Structure 1
Amino acid sequence: MNSDSSYTQLHRGGTSVIVDLSTAGLPTIIHWGPATGVLSPAELSSLAVAARPQRVSGGIDVPARLTLLPQETFGWQGSPALQGQRSRRGWGAALSTVSTVADSSSVTITAEDSAAELSMVTELSLTAAGVLRQRHTLTNTGSTEYELHRLDTIFPLPASATTVQDFTGRHLKERSSQQRPLTVGAHVRESRRGRPGADATLLMLAGTDGMGHRSGLVHGVHTAWSGNHRFSAERTITSDRFLSAGELLLPGEVVLAPGEKYSTPWSLGSWGSGLDQLASRFHEDLRARPQHPARPRPVTLNTWEAVYFDHNLETLKTLANKAAAIGVERFVLDDGWFLGRRDDTAGLGDWFVDPAVWADGLGPIINHVHDLGMEFGLWFEPEMVNPDSELARNHPDWILHTEGRWPVSARQQQVLNLANPECFDYLLGRLDAILSEYPISYIKWDHNRDLLEAADPRTGHPAVRNTTLALYRLLGELKSRHPSLEVESCASGGARVDLGILDYTDRIWTSDCIDPIERLDNQANTGLLVPYELMGAHIGGPESHSTRRRHSLGFMARTAIFGHFGIEWNIADIDAEQTAELTEWVQFHKAHRGLFHTGVSVHADLPDPAMDLRGVVAQDGGRAIFALTQREASISYPSGRITVPGLVPDVKYRLSLSHPLDEELGNGQSPLEWPLNECVLTGSVLETVGIQAPVLFPEQSVLIMFTSIESDGV
């Protein structure tokens, strides 16, 4: 309906957004966060008056407001949300609201600036989970070209936001958390890598001092985009605090012809009393998507760390036999199957089965895998090309480059221009041909390098945006032609984790590092956005290929057990004892993946940093499984009690361990009492009083089971 009020309010999923429509330029969000209930017109008017700033000495005559598009025309002197120009003129803008359409969960604002010859539509909506979605669409209404430099979405923060948290990383150590005070100025994080990258912040977060998984008011923003991006957490000298997010545009990347439009990627904001609640909104939102994986996530064996490039039919059949015997449901053939691909220096782009390795094609291994009752998956890296390939030799004009020079290589690779229709059609044709010839249910889609000087050689213009959009079209077309196909987003491991790519894929490869110690933080931080069922989490061999640490099979399994579970290990020749143990873990995961992949993710804020407690609680609160990990030796010995958050306060739970404590796990000199006795406690007592932690060796863990006495029939 058309809003005649000076205010509008959105309420959904425990979130309230209150918008003052009367501010100069675009509207101002007065409140985004905890539910306020529906306010009366008089209350809204009073709230708007109470939020207006005073004029101060030395300031401008009309104090500027933090609007949905803060503009210098209206006194804004912080970072601009909109930047652009027309042939060295018309760089300013005075976009002002001309109409508003609103209901209880969404508002659409149309703004115009006749002098600048621009119009813009801003969309705000609250999802059923209480996630705030925001997008701008800018239109050039003039008769000349308008070059857009920047267009960001703005999410205001409460005055309690004093700390910024984001993430950094590298290959094999993605999404490492870092914090700093939210001081006056802007804390800016950018990706100019042509993909989010291992250094991507994933979320820009701001909250109270000492915010944790279960405490502190925290807000966070994510941009659903798989190319370059920009995040900022900013505080002004006039007491505004806000997060901004958007696509990072390279010079000349968006030039709007008369009548042409540009839409920002959707930015999504969540909040919570602690990071767990913030994350649960994102998880609930993702699980409500019509394309969200509905069937149980197949236990997967990937051949990369098992055989690398050494593809031999009999070796792989033996590996498949063992995989099926222990309960694997999907067998994925990794890199090395296509023309000329004996190592990582050649072959990328030549997507034909190599007869030198597969004389009879892929049929024999696929048929063998299917006869064993498993699905078959295959590795591709469609966006990349080796200079040593027939594709590169025949079509160097399909490779992104500028000024007649090749970009610096990475992993002996260059990058294809998916925005070139001929290149796009070739890739679509080759992938479609392989998927049509063979019964392949899964693609591991890799992307093993950052982009440098990524220009379209046809025009010389930057091409990151256009190739990202072309990637989405390519994935969408393949899925349209093969509706049952599932796709994993893998990019040097976890360098392309975003909700843009997850619109077209069915899981992400969380990291190439599957060392369980490294995976603890990686998976916890990834889980702030992505639920467990979308996170690939595998058991590796006894010695990690990326860190050279050695860990027990049980520790690796307990770390991977909650995610989209799998194996990255040559298990063909493991002994009977290891086979039996691995089989047991596969069976355990299958028995509980319904809980792991639909339940609420919970992380405890333990006072002892040497210990980690995390788990999943069923939506109805009837059962839960937690992993307690001893990262390193604690100062106290024994460690004392741990409190268990996230359970239903008045429900009585029976406590047990998934597996008995033994000498491999810990060196307690007497039995731990509670696993040996009938122990029933309420969720409230578990969270406030707690239970004695077992004595564990460093780099070991146990799984603790909580079952309501109603659920187990007692």
Structure 2
Amino acid sequence: MFHLRAAGVSLVLDTRGTASVLHWGPDLGDIDLSAPAFVPAVPPSSIDVPLRLSLLPSLAEGWSGRPAIENGHGFRTAEAHHQDQTLVVRSASPDATQEVVTELELTPQGVLRVRHRLTNRGDHEIVLPSLDVLLPIPAEASELLDFTGLWSHERSPQRAPLRHGIWSRESRHGRPGHDDAFLMVAGEPGFGFRRGRVWAVHLAWSGDKRIWAERSALGPSVLGAGELLAPGEIRLAPGGSYETPWLVAVFSGSGLDGLSDRLHPWIRATSPLSLPRPVVLNTWEAVYFHHDLTVLGQLADAAAEVGVERFVLDDGWFTGRRDDRRALGDWSVDDTVWPDGLHPLISRVHARGMEFGLWVEPEMISPDSRLARDHPDWILDGGAGPTWRWQRTLDLTRAYDHLLERLSALLSEYPIAFLKWDHNRDLLTPGVAHRQTRALYRLLAALKDAFPHVEIESCASGGARIDLGILPLVDRFWTSDTNDPLDRQSIQRWTGILVPPEYLGGHLGDGVAHVTGRTSALGFRLATALFGSAGIEWNLTRASPQEKADIAAWIAEHKRLRPLLHSGRVVRADSPDPAHLVHGVIAPDRAHAVFALVTLGTPAAALPPPIRFPGLDPDRSYTVRPIGVPPRTMQDAPPPWLAAGEVTLPGRFLSEVGLPAPLLTPEQALLLELA
């Protein structure tokens, strides 16, 4: 028996017979592990011993739910040992031809990580149908939250009760996809951002996967996840091994924000970023494929004038790439557009004090490209099936050396500080997602090793590949292809449960959003893009002098606040009116905070609910004052505290009672600084 404890979380593992997780959740304190406190009764019409949910549950032990290994015949614990906060359990099949080593790590932040490694100890090949990680959850965790979505509308939440049976979400995109379940949360009914006990799992993997919750009529409920393997995809020769992705599991006794309170510090400790995060201008929505040194030079000048720190040249710079129907794979600079290469543009960018970044899409190939004509055998599935965005997928296992050489040549010739790494289609080829994902990880690692100064952004048609498997290899996620602030408010809110804000790119777009066509006020766009890794996706040469002045002021404000924004605790209030959102970031010492009051639509009442500021120090006094571009209101008189310009009150009052809200019109945001 083992008991691990960290940050208010306990993990109890019984290694007798078949190793079983007896408890994962709130800290149990000091307990007598020899007491029979975890042994259940034996019900009628069942197996004649207490049912145990082992690390590798199967029919052999009476578990008739989804097994950890399809066609598994029951594993027995052979050995277990404990090192620091990690438990390692070795189990063997009855005939000793299969061995599974399970690692369970409880981090100092209270995050539980679990993975299996199966090794073929027999004399014959093994075809592995599945190998998943399952964890028990208590009966009160009877309401589920996970996510769906589509292009430019990622991470849309959906909730349902956990009934008898399986709620299973599968991704068959060769990437997580825009409809990725992302994070599966089971909690007490009615849990919110600040209330309720919740248990959540995320699979740290960038390929095909499945994640599920199951409630059995036999009693146990579980959360599980694993790589979704195609038939015959994993074949293990004698001595060969397969290792599952890490299952990242988190318990919170204080709602969804409690998950972030564990995940964000853990991610910051294990995948640290270079701070401060530079303000970016990306050229895509500014010029699309219209690459011209004069036009882009003027855009660079305008970017520098407002305070941009990194200028990123998007799609259209390489040979023959005048639209999205050709040239992917031909990763050399187009000498008809750039007769002197990218050097003149980069020199201008550097002269204005900015770094230079470049867009690439190495995993894809256009049928109309030199690479496709020279190496048709490098196209997955031989080019069968439909194209997607007029492109196909490159077999990374065959093209690996070529891609490493081409990208290395670019990074050696040009002083590039940043790669926007895109992935604009599903694979649609069965049985290749595992090797394709592993090759991607290997390629990214090789580039990071050879060019440690180059940062990489994971973009997949926007936010279709945001996961903790690729996170250690990248420095930024492109959260979504939409820059519409109304959509971004929801996307950023839900993505931010798992991923800290400094990893999530959020850009100021044009007044008329290019994806939705919706018109939005500059202040709303600025407030939305303030939180996170901020940037601009707009042709600033067409902005008015007043707009440029407001943008320059916003960037200056972001630079002043980003030490807080990129290190603080993210909090979100539970609002009785879905038209009103309140979210903020609080400094680790709780002396400083920034909050946003956001109106998504028409409020439910003439007087909206007060602005409550969760997470403040109850015994500290805070001065609350508005910052940024004032939002549009519809009111005969503002609340007196806002008319006065500031108010000073105890944190306990601001959290429990709050401040009267101004009457913002729909699609507006009020920024408030507390210090």
Q: TM-score range by the shorter chain?
A: over 0.9
Rounded to whole Å, the distance in 1 between the matches of 2:73 and 2:619 is 57
Structure 1 counterpart of 2:441, one-letter code: Y
The residue that corresponds to 1:30 in the other structure is 22
Equivalent in the alignment of 1:379: 359
Alignment of 1:510-589 (within 5 A): 510-589=479-558
Equivalent pair of 2:57/2:74 in contact (CA under 8 Å): no
Alpha-carbon deviation of 1:116? 5.4
**In the alignment, which residue of structure 1 is the partner of 2:414?**
438
- Aligned residue in 1 for 2:228: 248
Q: Unmatched 5+ residue regions in structure 1? A: 1-6, 84-90, 455-461, 708-714
Deviation of 1:660 (Å): 7.2
Q: 1:45 aligns with which of 8, 30, 34?
A: 34
TM superposition shift of 1:637: 1.1
In structure 2, distance between residues paired with 1:214 and 1:624: 18
Change (3 A) 1:104 1:354: closer
3-state SS of paired residue (1:82): coil
Task: Supply the distance in 2 between the matched residues of 1:103 and 1:9 (Cα, whole angstroms).
Answer: 12
Matching residue within 600, 613, 620 for 2:569: 600
Secondary structure, counterpart of 1:238 in structure 2: coil
Deviations 1:605-629 (A, max 9, x none): 0111110000000000001110001
2:647: which partner in 1? 679
Decide whether aligned partners of structure 1 residues 504 and 328 sit closer, same or farther in structure 2, where only a CA change above 3 A counts: same
Work out whether residues 602 and 615 of structure 1, in 8 Å CA contact, stay in contact via their aligned partners in 2: yes
- Alignment check: 8 A CA contact 1:11 1:38 kept: no
Query: Which amino acid in structure 2 is aligned with residue 686 of structure 1?
Result: L
| 2:344 alignment partner in structure 1 | 364
Question: Contact 1:94–1:116 at 8 Å: present in 2 too?
Answer: no
Partner of 1:417: 395
Matched residue type, 2:23: H
Q: How does 1:334-373 map to 2 (within 5 A)?
A: 334-373=314-353
Distance in 2 of aligned mates of 1:64 and 1:393: 60
Q: Note the C-alpha offset of 1:655.
A: 1.2
Tell me the equivalent position of 1:88. Answer: none
Q: Which residue of structure 1 aligns with residue 51 of structure 2?
A: 64
Shift of 1:686: 1.4
Alignment of 1:215-364 (within 5 A): 215-272=195-252, 273-289=254-270, 291-364=271-344
Moved more, 30-39 or 300-309: 30-39
State the 1:103 CA deviation. 4.3
Q: Cα gap change, 1:640/1:529 in structure 2, threshold over 3 Å: closer, same or farther? A: closer
Find out whether 1:429 has 2:405 as its counterpart.
yes
Check whether the contact 1:10–1:104 (CA below 8 A) recurs between aligned residues.
Answer: no
**Cα pair 1:145 1:257 within 8 Å, conserved:** yes
Question: What's the CA shift for 1:573?
Answer: 2.5
Cα distance in 1 for partners of 2:629, 2:661 equals 14
Q: 1:167 aligns with which of 134, 147, 150?
A: 147
Using structure 2 for the length normalisation, give the TM-score.
Answer: 0.98
* Alignment map for 1:624-663 (pairs within 5 Å): 624-659=593-628, 661=630
Cα drift, residue 13 of structure 1: 2.3
Match of 1:155 in 2: 135
Per mean C-alpha deviation after superposition, the further-off stretch among 642-651 and 443-452 is 642-651
CA distance in 2, matches of 1:560, 1:608: 23
Please give the per-residue CA displacement for 1:59-86, whole angstroms capped at 9, x wherever unaligned: 1222421111112111111111102xxx
Matched letter for residue 153 of structure 1: V
**Helix, strand or coil for the counterpart of 1:150?**
coil
Alignment equivalent of 1:395, drawn from 375, 381, 395? 375
RMSD across aligned positions (CA): 1.2
Cα displacement (A) at 1:172: 0.7
SS at match of 1:536: strand
Q: Measure how far apart 1:51 and its partner are.
A: 2.4
Counterpart in the other structure of 1:609: 578
- Which deviations, in whole Å up to 9, do the C-alpha atoms of 1:87-145 show, x marking residues without a partner? xxxx4422110111014522110111241511110000111111001010001100000
Instruction: Determine whether 1:691 maps to 2:667.
Output: no
Following the alignment from structure 2 to structure 1, what is the Cα–Cα distance between the partners of residues 459 and 55?
Answer: 35
Return the letter of the residue paired with 2:576: P
Q: Hey, what does 1:704 align to over in structure 2?
A: 672
Counterpart CA distance in 1 for 2:493 and 2:72 is 43
AA of the residue aligned to 1:45: S
CA displacement at 1:635 relative to structure 2? 2.4
SS where residue 539 of structure 2 aligns? coil
In 2, the alpha carbon distance for the partners of 1:162 and 1:469 equals 35
Amino acid at match of 1:528: I
How far apart are the structure 2 equivalents of 1:334 and 1:295?
A: 23
TM-score by length of 1: 0.93
Contact persistence 1:606–1:642 (CA under 8 A):
no
Per-residue deviation, residues 37-75 of structure 1 (Å, max 9, x unmatched): 232xxx2233xx232222222212224211111121111
Q: Which moved more, 1:255-264 or 1:638-647?
A: 638-647
Deviation at 1:156, TM superposition (A): 1.4
- Residues 261-318 of structure 1, C-alpha deviations (whole Å, 9 max, x = no match): 11101111112121011112111111002x5113200000000000000000000000
* Alpha-carbon distance in structure 2 between the residues aligned to 1:463 and 1:429: 23
How many correspondences in the alignment?
A: 673
> Is the 8 Å Cα contact of residues 62 and 75 (structure 1) preserved in structure 2?
no
What are the equivalent positions in structure 2 for 1:99-138 lying under 5 Å apart?
99-103=79-83, 105-115=85-95, 117-138=97-118
Distance in 2 between residues matched to 1:333 and 1:77, nearest whole Å: 54
**Residue-by-residue CA offset, 1:516-545 (whole Å, 9 max, x unaligned):** 110111111111110000000000000001
Distance 1:122 1:407 in 2: 39
Q: Give the match for residue 17 of structure 1.
A: 11
Unaligned runs of 5+ in 2: none
Runs of 4+ deviating beyond 4 Å: none
2 CA distance for matches of 1:437 and 1:679? 55
3-state secondary structure, aligned to 2:380 = coil
The one-letter amino acid paired with 1:623 is H
Counterpart of 2:281 in 1: which secondary structure? strand
Q: Verify the 8 A CA contact 1:145 1:255 in the aligned structure 2.
A: yes
- For 2:251 and 2:290, locate their aligned partners in 1 and report how far apart those are by CA, in whole Å: 48
Letter in 1 for 2:53: L
Partner of 2:426: 450
- The amino acid across from 1:697 in the alignment is T
Q: Does 1:667 find its partner at 2:634?
A: yes
The CA distance in 2 between the partners of 1:302 and 1:308, in whole Å, is 10
C-alpha distance in 2 between matches for 1:619 and 1:179: 32
